[in-house]
Structure 1
Amino acid sequence: MKIYTIRHSSVNVKPGICYGQTDVDVAESFYEEQKRLSQELAQVSFDAVWSSPLLRCRKLAESLFPNKAIHFDSRLKELNFGDWEMLPWDEIYAQPEGKDWMDNYQILPTKNGESYPEMVARVSAIFNAIKNENAENIAIVAHAGVIRILKSVIENRPISELFENFKPAYASCTVFEINQHD
């Protein structure tokens, strides 16, 4: 089985803003990014398509796979940053609890939001459901955080290693090969 994880396209948000689960729209570059991805994926026949229900993923999934049933699942959403949603990262980091979270993000929850262990649990649950499908090629349209967690789970690598060394670009595709007999 191959899982094609597709990060949503660029968003209509100023750089440096934390948007997590805020339902932001896509940027003007959407059609150009979608066209490039569509060409990249044209030769693949997908058996199933999963997507985060957030608008930036929904739009991309529906435009890439117009003739497929798309499974929209909340477990594929980005981290819930709680009170920090739509604040500048610099402002978050300037707060004592923001700095503390950034130094300990692997264990602490965001302010009135979610922790990475909680996110890892929900993403792992959806991954286990998806990998049990009888499918050869599956597309997942999601967020950078979700794709990092999937890479961590699939490759059995610490998430901390991936935050430094693995940064999925907007409108990019990362492919994982899964041995269903493991």
Structure 2
Amino acid sequence: TMVYFTALYFGPFIGAFAGGVGSALADLLLGYTVYAPATLLIKAAEGWAAGYLALKLTGREKTLKIFILSLIVSAGYLLAILIVGLFILSGEFEASFILLMSAGGVIHPLIWYPLAVLAIATPLYLTVKSRKSEGLLLLVLLLSGLIMVSGYFIYQQFILGYYAVAEIPVNFGQVIVGAAVAIPLYRAVRRLSAR
């Protein structure tokens, strides 16, 4: 989420620095040291791509082609949230915090329907209301997220072998949730800073 927000708000270079260095430091502090070198490169590339694509794609005037593309991406995003939420991120979970504490619980599948509607609200609003091509922010974040998903898959091939395939849906879920939070956060902060 913060990688995307930083890239959208501050641009590609700060997005790359915050994404790479910040995420690698988090890996080191949380005990995932084996991932820190890859995280530095992968998250930096993801942050740079998000910032760069946002600069290049979202400042244009909205055309019918951009409007339709934004609607198609939004529909695909809604479907992706439901598929990942219902089939991958539902059920029992356990979360560990810095190897000292852990907590668990259950995520009910029905929670994903209202979450999907909430997540799609801002991109759809931007698609319909904005005079610029801000509806493409979702596409920008999903494309840059593919760098993260494919980068970790390649890196995890060396560590986990073919088990790395199991991490693809989890990493894709991270992209989906990150975009769902980053776009409204970016819009809110930008609106506040314009006052």
TM-score normalised to the size of structure 1? 0.34
Larger relative contact order, structure 1 or 2 (CA cutoff 8 Å, min sep 6): 1
Structure with the higher fraction of residues in helix conformation: 2
Larger radius of gyration: 2
- Say which structure is richer in strand: 1
